[in-house]
Amino acid sequence: MRVTLATHGGLAAPVLAGLPPDVVDTHALPESAAAELSRLVAAATEAAAGAPEPRRRAPDAMSYSITVEEDGHSCVLVQSDTDMSPEFAALLRWLKEHAARE
Amino acid sequence: MTSEFRHHCITPPYLLERLLKDVDSEVRQAALNTMLTTAHLRGERAVRTAFPGVATPGNARRTIYDCRNTTSLPFAVLARSEDGPESADVSVNRAFDMLGKTRDFFQRVFARNSIDGHGMRLDGYVHYGYEFANAFWDGRQMVFGDGDGRVFSDLTGSLSVIAHELGHGVTEHTTGLVYHNQSGALNESMSDVFGAMVEQWTLGQTAGQADWLIGREVFTPQIEADALRSMKAPGHAWNTERFGKDPQPDHMSKYVNMPDTYEGDWGAVHYNSGIPNKAFYLTAATIGGYSWEAPGLIWYEALKASNSETRFQEFADTTYRKAGELYEVGSAEQMAVLGAWQEVGISITGVSAGLARARTRTVGQNGDATAAVRALTAQVQELSRDVAALKGRVTAGG
């Protein structure tokens, strides 16, 4: 499974626009980390299914798109600072912590 | 196959009650803290409203909450209130102080009582998220991250950023400029205008003395960037190997077209704000003196006279009209506005470009003298205040 995090907008939108997305491949992770990432992805995907549209565009809020690719299928989860589920927040934190360690 | 889900989440009271019964003790404690905080604040409101004349919670009272590095505002804990003691947390105190400075600016300069003009509470949330390199206004409160410590510092360290976020609230409660394309870029620009004015007002700087940078303190020392944006020189705030060059345009000929999507910064709102930003800077620099006086008043009145879909041309025309109403038709102030918009590629409707150039040249010559007289007047007023203060001290000392 390949997971890609792209960050958009925010107070420093033009600064961040120049940065490449963070990519994680579970094949390159230790087994326990790969299992944890898979669990977080499944929880975030389940929480997002059937959820209502975001209520508004909040000035300077950031949006995050997390693309999950597996077995020829891809799924994109998009949430922002003002409408983030706890499950999405947990996945986002894991990806940011992983990127900071790389 | 590609699918896209979006999710919206708030924590209603019934959910908090359910969380009180959760098997996880930390979840139960967090829910209890939130309910206690809410009850405490409700209690404050009830008590205060029972005493007419006492400051009410709506009297632009500041409350700072600590998100404890989560993304949940309902679970944030009360860190400092208007009447409460100073916090041991520097971010909490900075947010509290800077919200106060911004509140005072709007009260004293524009006689505006808080964000909504009716004493709206000022709620700030600090330590939001994990390494969150951002600050935003969510329609009710201001939220600040700690930065990642590598590129971005703690966002509460910048007065211009805090005033910028509060400025979004002011715009929302005046015109509600829709956050996309030109109206969104104007929304962003107004927040930068407020951010710059609050900082200059706090420091007592004239337009000539100020550096006109927004978010000077946002980057860590390791990053070679002056600030997030420059109102004086849009497109020149940063130029680094890692991020590239500041892409803000300073002229309509360089207008940035991006999609009206989250990926396109809602039509490049943080990019094209450089154009009206430059127009405000040029107006302030031409008039001279303090930006929050004539230039600020003209922009503020133009904002109030705008609507949710106002674009650059309409806003420029409104500033020109307001300058004529507030000062005089053909005054130095109105000509400064005319020349500023002209310089960023926007001609005021009904004024020919040739006439505009001729007028601004003439006023530019006279404007130097006018600005000099204003600066001298300001210095005399400052001296008078110092003398009065000294007299007071002598009298008090006997």
B202-213 residue pLDDT tens:
999 999 999 999
Interface test with B, best of A2, A7, A15 (most B CBs within 10 A): A15
Of the candidates B8, B71, B228, the beta carbon closest to that of A12 is on B228
Check CB contact of A65 with chain B, cutoff 8 Å: yes
**H-type helices in B112-217, by residue range?**
159-174, 181-203
Q: Which residues of A67-87 are buried (b: 16+ CB within 10 A; e: fewer)?
A: bbbeeeeebbbbbbbbbbbbb
Chain A residues inside the 8 Å CB shell of B172? 59
A60 part of contact set with chain B, CB < 8 Å: yes
Structure ipTM: 0.91
The pLDDT, as a whole number, for residue B9 is 23
In total, how many domains does chain A have? 1
What pLDDT sits at residue B181?
97
Interface of B with A in 70-99 (CB under 8 A): 70-72
- Nearest chain B Cα distance for residue A99, angstroms: 11
> Contact B166/B122 with Cβ under 8 angstroms?
yes
How large a percentage of chain A has pLDDT more than 90? 81
Structural domain boundaries enclosing A14: 2-101
Express each pLDDT in B244-276 by its tens digit.
Answer: 999 999 999 999 999 999 999 999 999 999 999
Half-sphere exposure of B270 (CA within 13 A, CB side): 24
| Cα angle for residues B35, B40, B42 (degrees, 5° grid) | 95
Q: DSSP for B338-378?
A: HHHHHHTT-PPTTS-HHHHHHHHHHHHHHHHHHHHHHHHHH
Q: Check whether B7 has a pLDDT greater than 70.
A: no
Contact B138 A19 (CB under 8 A): no
User: Looking at the complex, does the CB of residue B136 fall below 8 Å from at least one CB of chain A?
Assistant: yes
Position B327 scores a pLDDT of 97
Amino acid B360: pLDDT: 57
**Cβ-defined contact of A93 to B130 (cutoff 8 Å):** yes
Better pLDDT: B50 or B379: B379
Q: What per-residue confidence (pLDDT) applies to B130?
A: 92
Q: What is the pLDDT of residue B45?
A: 32
- pLDDT band (50, 70, 90) for residue B154: very high
How far B133 CA lies from chain A's nearest CA (Å)?
8
Mutation choice for A interface testing from B6, B19, B131, B258 by most A CBs within 10 A? B6
Dihedral over Cα of B89, B91, B96, B98: its sign: positive
Min mean pLDDT across A78-92, B110-124, B338-352, B370-384 is at: B370-384
Residue B301 has pLDDT above 70, yes or no: yes
Beta-bridge partners for A24: A3
Q: How many CA atoms lie within 13 A of B132 on its CB side?
A: 32
Q: What is the mean pLDDT of chain B?
A: 83
Under the banding of pLDDT at 50, 70 and 90, the label for residue A6 is very high
Q: Which of A51-65, B73-87, B205-219 has the lowest mean pLDDT?
A: A51-65
